[in-house]
């Protein structure tokens, strides 16, 4: 049986899950509030009448609680803030290495580091990132995302020697339905099978393979907000964070006719002139097309 956590342990855990600056600010606010209550509720020396007894007891309880909590609560949050800072520093270092040497870094990291990398990539694109827990079946979901009031689920597969199959995508679709998610992502260090891509094309799941993940990482701003030089003279901070639609386009689907990877094109004539669509790379040998949603 797991040991039940006390109040102090809960505070440390809360502080570690908050951004460290937010945890420090919360600790300062709590200290000020509790200190004001402590000095403003000095107990009355003694009750002069029976009617005063209740007031005396209440003031004593408030004074003692505020006196203790003005130190206990901030200390717990500050310890959590320190853990949060260390964790974020390690994640930033991991992400910086992946930005500098994406192929080598992604290949050499373990599955836990891969999950942290993916979470940080989405966080830098403006998503609120949380872990995904619960007692029920989660279909292997690793991360929860939130943006503009909508929820997304992410499944990470750090598979380098075999393709991610359609079963993984089907499992994520089932979990999305249970939790009412707007969409989902399956992120892999390698590639996806043809069946997985075809199934994902039919639902609100976007597949991000190793190459697309490198693109997603490369589009992310630096953690400290400073410009980072990238190929082509662009700087990461000059780019707007990728929206869900842009991330959805980060990896091309497979052609429904021949299975070849597709490329984005624009219609040149007709009622759809100017609108983008997926076209088969084998065109004109293969005329397979898909609409970009």
Q: What is the CATH number of the domain that holds 197?
A: 3.40.1350.10
User: Would residue 110 count as lying in a domain?
Assistant: yes
User: Of 44, 70, 99, at which residue does a domain stop?
Assistant: 99
Please give the average per-residue pLDDT across 275-281, as a whole number.
80
Q: Give the mean pLDDT of the chain.
A: 78
Give me the pLDDT at residue 132, please: 59
Tokens of 263: 């490329």
pLDDT for 97 beyond 50: yes
Q: Tell me, yes or no, whether 80 and 221 share the same domain.
A: no
Question: Does 145 have pLDDT greater than 70?
Answer: yes
Does residue 166 share a domain with residue 45?
no
Single out the residue in 58, 76, 99 at which a domain terminates: 99
Q: What is the pLDDT of residues 184-228, one digit of tens each?
A: 999 998 889 989 988 888 887 899 988 888 888 876 666 554 434
> In the predicted model, is pLDDT for residue 247 greater than 90?
no
pLDDT at residue number 51: 64
2 occurs within a structural domain: no
Pick from 99, 126, 145: which residue ends a domain?
99
87 part of a folded domain: yes
In a domain, 63, yes or no: yes
Is 57 among the domain residues?
Answer: yes
Tell how strand 276-280 and strand 150-157 pair up.
unpaired
Tell me whether residue 291 is in a domain: yes
Residues 123, 218, single domain; the answer is yes
Q: Same domain for 238 and 124?
A: yes
Q: Which residue has the higher pLDDT, 257 or 73?
A: 73
Do 141 and 240 lie in one domain? The reply is yes
**Confidence grade of residue 26 (pLDDT, cut at 50, 70, 90):** very high
Most confident of 15-24, 25-34, 175-184, 231-240: 25-34
Q: Is the pLDDT of residue 160 over 70?
A: yes
pTM (whole model) above 0.85: no
Question: Residue 57 pLDDT > 70, yes or no?
Answer: yes
- Asked, for residue 231, whether it belongs to a domain, the answer is yes
Residues 206 and 287 in one domain: no
When divided into structural domains, the chain yields a total of 3
Could you tell me if residue 1 is inside a domain?
no
Containing domain of residue 30, as a range? 7-99
Both 179 and 273 in a single domain?
A: no
The verdict on 221 and 113 lying in the same domain is yes
Question: Are 19 and 92 in the same domain?
Answer: yes
Residue 24 has pLDDT above 90, yes or no: yes
- 110 and 176 inside one domain: yes
Residue 38 has pLDDT above 70, yes or no: yes
More confidently predicted of 262 and 223: 262
Q: What's the pLDDT score for residue 1?
A: 42
Pair (15, 147) in one structural domain: no
Helical pair 20-40 and 50-100, crossing angle rounded to 10 deg: 170
Burial class (CB in 10 A: 0-12, 13-18, 19+), 231: exposed
Ranges of beta strands (E only) in the chain are: 128-131, 143-147, 150-157, 183-188, 205-208, 262-266, 276-280, 289-291
- How far is it, in rounded angstroms, from Cα 250 to Cα 254? 13
Same domain, 198 and 238: yes
Per-residue H/E/C for 95-142: HHHHHHCHHHHHHHCCHHHHHHHHHHHHHCCCCEEEECCCCCCCCCCC
């Amino acid at each position: 049986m797991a040991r039940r956590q006390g109040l102090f342990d809960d505070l440390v855990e809360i502080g570690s899950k908050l951004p460290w600056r937010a945890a420090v600010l919360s600790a300062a606010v709590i200290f000020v509030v509790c200190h004001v209550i402590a000095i403003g509720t000095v107990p009355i020396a003694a009750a002069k009448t029976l009617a005063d007894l209740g007031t005396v007891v209440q003031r004593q309880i408030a004074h003692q609680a505020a006196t203790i909590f003005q130190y206990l609560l901030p200390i717990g949050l500050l310890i959590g803030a320190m853990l949060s800072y260390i964790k974020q520093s390690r994640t930033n270092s991991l992400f910086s290495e992946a930005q500098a040497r994406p192929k080598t870094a992604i290949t050499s990291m373990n599955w836990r580091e891969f999950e942290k990398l993916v979470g940080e990539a989405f966080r830098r694109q403006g998503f609120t990132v949380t872990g995904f827990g619960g007692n029920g079946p989660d279909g292997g979901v690793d991360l929860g995302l939130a943006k503009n009031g909508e929820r997304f689920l992410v499944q990470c597969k750090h598979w380098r020697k075999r393709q991610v199959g359609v079963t993984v995508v089907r499992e994520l679709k089932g979990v999305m339905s249970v939790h009412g998610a707007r969409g989902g992502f399956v992120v892999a260090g390698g590639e996806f099978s043809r069946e997985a891509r075809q199934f994902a094309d039919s639902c609100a799941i976007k597949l991000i393979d190793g190459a697309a993940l490198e693109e997603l990482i490369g589009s992310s701003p630096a953690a400290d907000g400073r410009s980072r030089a990238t190929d082509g003279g662009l700087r990461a901070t000059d780019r707007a964070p990728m929206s869900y639609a842009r991330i959805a386009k980060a990896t091309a689907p497979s052609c429904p006719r021949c299975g070849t990877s597709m490329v984005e094109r624009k219609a040149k004539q007709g009622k759809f002139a100017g609108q983008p669509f997926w076209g088969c790379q084998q065109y004109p040998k293969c005329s397979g097309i898909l609409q970009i949603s």
